[in-house]
Structures are given as C-alpha cells and as structure tokens.
Amino acid sequence: MIDVDPSLVNWSRVQFAFTAMYHWIFVPLTLGLSFLCAFYETIYLKTGNEEWKKITRFWMTLFGINFAIGVATGIILEFEFGTNWSNYSWMVGDIFGAPLAIEGLFAFFMEASFFAVMFFGWDRVSKGFHCFSTWMVAIGSNLSAVWILVANGWMQNPVGMAFNADTARFEMENFAEVVFNPVAVSKFTHTSSSGFVMASAFVLTISCWYLIKKKHVEVAKRSIIVASVFGLVASLFVGFTGDEAAYEVAQKQPMKLAAMEGLYKGEHGAGLVAMGIMNDTKVPGDVQDAFLMQVKVPRVLSLLANREFGSFVPGIDDLVYGNEEQNVMGVNTMMEKGRLALADLAAFKDAKRNKDDVTAEAALARFDVNKEFMGYGYLDNPEEAVPPVNIVFNSFHLMVMMGSLLPVIFAAFLFYTFKGVITEKRWLLPVGLFTGLMAFLAEQAGWVTAEVGRQPWAIQGLMPVKIATTNLSVTAVQITLAMFAVVFTILLIAEISIMLKAIAAGPEGH
C-alpha cells in the first residue's frame, strides 16, 4: 500500500473546501443576477421607461461588485489543482483540463468581452447593442458554469476515457460523452437554476429593506415583480432538476444517496426521510438504530432512486459488505479486485522495463479484467468508502428544507405585489429580509452534500483523495490556508462594505 500522511490529506481537503465554499458565496449570485439585469434592461428597451433603466443600472452595480470578487477567488481555486492535487492533475489532465481550458478560452472570453460594454457603454453604443451585451454577459457567465460542472461531473461519473497502462494516466476517448455525461447535465441544470433562485432571493431581500424603510418604493416593487416571477419559475425547476440529480446519484453513486438519507439497511419500498435526528454513535455493521427520531414518507425514496415504488434501495451496510440476494457487490469484494488490478499493473510495468513483452501482455490482460475497481485497491478497509454520514444527511435536508420554502415565499410576494398591497403586508416584508440568507444556506448545503457525499473519491471508484494529493509538508498547507483565510476574509468584508454603500446610496446613487 502507498504510505500517505493522513494529516496532509485532511489539511489539503480543508484548504480546498474552504476555498471552494468561499468561491461559492459569489458564483450563484453571478449566475442569476446577470440574467435579472438582462430582464430589467429588456423591459427598459421595450418600454423606454427611464425607471427601468435606473433599476437595471442599480442591480448591475451590485452584480459587478460580486463578479469581481468571484473571479479572484475562482482563480485561486483552479491553481490549487496544481499546487495541492498534482497527482490528480497529472493523471487526469488530458480529460479534466479540456473543459477548464474551453471555459477560459471561450465562455470567460465572451463574458469579459461584453463586460466592458455592459458597464461603460451606456452612452457610447445603441440601446439595442447594450442590451445585447448584457445578455451576452449573462449567457457567458452560465456557459462558464457549464464547463466547470462538466469537469466536476466527470469526477463523479468518469466516462468517455480510457486508462493508459504505459503512462498510468487517464486519457480522453470521447469528448461528447464527457460533455453530455448525465451527471454533468443534471449538475448544471440544478446548479444554474439554484443560482437563479439565489439571485431572486437577493433582490427580494434588498427590495424588502427598501419597502420597510419606505425608500425607493417604486423601484423595490418593480424589482420584486420580476425577481418573484424568475425566482418562482426557477425554484420549481430546481425541484425538477433536483429529482433528476438524485436519480443520477442513485444510479452512479449509491453510497452518496444512502448517506443523504441515513439509510444503513437496504429496503424494498424505502421511505424518504422528511426530517430526522441521527444517532452520532452509529457505524456501519452495528445493530444500533440510525436515528434517534425520524419522520418518513413511505416508499418515496424507492421512487426517487429507481422510478418504482417497491424497488430495492441499497443501504450503507449492503454497499460496504455486499448483499448477494440483491446482487449488490460490497466494497470488501471491490477492494480484492482493486488490489489484483494494482498488482497486475505493477507487474506490467516491471515486465515493460525488463522488455519482457509476453509477461507484460499477460499482466495487462489480467489488469483489464479488474481495472474498473483499481481505486478500491488503495483503501485500507471497507468502511473507508463511507462518507461522513451525519454531515451529508444534515446538509442535504437543510438544502431541501430551505429550497421547499422559497417558492412559497416568491409566490406570496408575487401575489401581493400584483394586487398592489405589498406595502400593507407588514408581516411578509421581514420574511423577505431573510430570503437571501435562506437561499445562501441552501446553496452552501447543496455544495456540501455533493462534495462531501462523494468522499473518499477524487474520481469515483478510480482514485481516492489520499492518492490525489501533492507531496507537500503539512506546515506548507497550513500556512497557505491561513493566508487564504486572511485574504478571502478581507475580500468578503470589502464586498459586503461596498455593496452596503451601494445599497444605501440606492438606485439614484449608482
């Protein structure tokens, strides 16, 4: 087995998670607010009403502040693949690098090209071209997300590639298969639509503050109407895409689904946990109850996972130790096959060095039989394949809870605004103030569910995280983590400060 310092792995994980979560503060707002700016400006273009121009420029100012900080944190995040995860980058650079390169050369280039026109071209280009530029920035922002999520989706469901035993690298075979990976498609549709919800909730929060303070009332009302429509449609679509994403998880990452639901023992007609408190001392294979308290919706998890109410959904114990009756191969068996694959790969490399082609060919043939399990050969015990169940369960259910409340809130604001009585609903405006926070919590919880839920894998089933790290000192990772924490906190404080000043100045002071 490869000797890896667990402290290095854990600190590298912490640093990457910290950087990604900071970056994720800004990304969803960028994805959604860019389209809201395009909607507002399109209304201005169609009506010629200067009030809509004022609204557009105000929200565009907040978008620009957020965009700038998001770019800065995103650049650092991409560099970490080379600094902290060089083994991963070297082994999959042929595949993982392609969508990231396209994102930089095409999507980000298009976004940046029209960005200057969007912000500085109001009196320099025609109204139509300016509106077109705003739409191009919105489309470019979301195209950037496409390629990043294609790369992430491949990590969670590696397709369209082959392993080159001569170089010990994964190489792309089918670019279209990588791009249209069903996990990547479901991740993009779910992530982008949740960004639309986040931006709509952000607009709602600020507009409610204006209404409570009785400032910029007409701007706030008009902003709420567009944001509520966009947010309501997007939040309903989030539910649809979330169902599809969960189905893909069930098919490609059953261990993640089991952790999301705290399911240890597989069931026919498995119920969906609506709410529950997990037993912190529960471990795979023991006889303790997984929950101290739970409320289930009967049979719905089976429908979610397999599109059949009575179907069998494997639990953590089934996946770790196997279930022959249900034809579920356990991690313990996969580890045996993985170790055979690694041994045959080593034998192949030795034979190639010794120029023994016959032995090399035989070893390669044996390796091909078990190569899909080679990542399991690096695990020390079957239980290592189980992600932190409590974290995944709680983050998933927080995301669902917040996400379920948001469409109700959008619908209420839309209804009362159209009736012209929104300012009279003093009970509803404080709710709106917390809508942005609710959407933010749902976004962060969704990221935690997706990324912590796939642990211990950097590439699902093929490369555990502990093999993907760079051979650095733990001290170096700790120092850079502290540096990032300071810099990112300064950036966050700066963004909040600048945004608050812009909000206080209002639409007239853009």
Residue 75 lies in a domain: yes
Q: Where does a domain end: 355, 386, 417?
A: 386
Which helix (H) or strand (E) is 143 found in, with range? helix 127-156
| Whether residues 249 and 206 fall in one domain | yes
Residue 1 lies in a domain: no
Query: Burial of 147 by CB count in 10 Å (0-12 exposed, 13-18 middle, 19+ buried)?
Result: buried
Nearest residue to 269 via CA among 240, 228, 308: 308
Q: So what's the pLDDT on residue 156? A: 93
Each residue's pLDDT tens digit in the chain (510 positions)?
A: 556 778 888 899 999 898 888 888 888 999 999 999 999 999 999 999 999 999 999 999 999 988 888 877 777 887 888 888 888 888 888 888 888 888 777 767 777 788 889 988 888 999 999 999 999 999 988 888 888 899 899 999 999 999 998 888 899 999 999 999 999 999 999 999 999 999 999 999 999 999 999 999 999 999 999 999 999 999 999 999 999 999 999 999 999 999 999 999 999 999 999 999 999 999 998 989 999 999 999 999 999 999 999 999 999 999 999 999 999 999 999 999 999 999 999 999 999 999 898 999 999 999 999 999 999 999 999 999 999 999 999 999 999 999 999 999 999 999 998 888 888 878 899 999 999 999 999 999 999 999 999 999 999 999 999 998 888 889 998 998 999 889 888 888 988 899 899 999 888 765
Report the SS3 class of residue 457: strand
* 374 in Cβ contact with 462 (< 8 Å): yes
Residue 509 lies in a domain: no
Q: What is the pTM of this model?
A: 0.91
Tokens of 323: 């279930």
Residue 11 lies in a domain: yes
Tokens of 171: 């190489």
Q: So what's the pLDDT on residue 509? A: 61
Tokens of 491: 């950036």
Report the SS3 class of residue 450: helix
- How far out from the chain centre does Cα 442 lie? 11
Q: So what's the pLDDT on residue 229? A: 96
CA-CA distance, 325 to 313, in Å (whole number)? 13
323 DSSP assignment: B
| Whether residues 398 and 362 fall in one domain | no
CA-CA distance, 54 to 26, in Å (whole number)? 24
- Give the DSSP letter string of 357-411: HHHHHHHHHHHHHHGGGGGGGG-SSGGGGS--HHHHHHHHHHHHHHHHHHHHHHH
| Whether residues 73 and 172 fall in one domain | yes
Q: Where does a domain end: 386, 411, 440?
A: 386
Q: Where does a domain end: 340, 359, 386?
A: 386
Q: Per DSSP, what are the bridge partners of residue 455?
A: none
CA-CA distance, 164 to 348, in Å (whole number)? 12
| Whether residues 228 and 277 fall in one domain | no
CA-CA distance, 94 to 138, in Å (whole number)? 29
* 94 in Cβ contact with 170 (< 8 Å): yes
CA-CA distance, 405 to 46, in Å (whole number)? 33
| Whether residues 270 and 299 fall in one domain | yes
Greatest C-alpha distance within the chain = 85
CA-CA distance, 352 to 145, in Å (whole number)? 42
* 18 in Cβ contact with 484 (< 8 Å): yes
Q: So what's the pLDDT on residue 2? A: 59
Q: So what's the pLDDT on residue 197? A: 96
Residue 104 lies in a domain: yes
| Whether residues 109 and 195 fall in one domain | yes
Nearest residue to 231 via CA among 412, 358, 376, 425: 412
CA-CA distance, 90 to 269, in Å (whole number)? 44
| Whether residues 278 and 228 fall in one domain | no
Structural domain range at position 310: 262-386
Computed on alpha carbons and rounded to an integer, the radius of gyration of the chain in Å comes to 25
158: Cα within 13 Å, side-chain hemisphere: 24
| Whether residues 97 and 234 fall in one domain | yes
Angle (nearest 5°) at CA 132 between 131 and 135: 90
Phi, psi of 279 (to 5 degrees): -85, 110
Report the SS3 class of residue 506: coil
Q: Which residue has the tokens 């060089």?
A: 86
Residue 421 one-letter amino acid: V
Domain count, the chain: 2
Q: Which residue has the tokens 């201005």?
A: 44
| Whether residues 92 and 198 fall in one domain | yes
Q: Which residue has the tokens 């209304």?
A: 43
Residue 508 lies in a domain: no
* 114 in Cβ contact with 136 (< 8 Å): yes
CA-CA distance, 304 to 310, in Å (whole number)? 11
Residue 101 lies in a domain: yes
Nearest residue to 91 via CA among 337, 483, 374: 374
Q: Per DSSP, what are the bridge partners of residue 387?
A: none
* 310 in Cβ contact with 252 (< 8 Å): no
- Residues 6 or more apart whose CB falls under 8 angstroms from that of 440 comprise 25, 198, 201
Residue 510 lies in a domain: no
- How far out from the chain centre does Cα 5 lie? 28
Q: So what's the pLDDT on residue 78? A: 78
* Cα separation of the two ends of the chain: 60
| Whether residues 271 and 189 fall in one domain | no
CA-CA distance, 39 to 56, in Å (whole number)? 9
| Whether residues 314 and 402 fall in one domain | no
| Whether residues 312 and 367 fall in one domain | yes
Q: So what's the pLDDT on residue 252? A: 94
Q: So what's the pLDDT on residue 103? A: 78
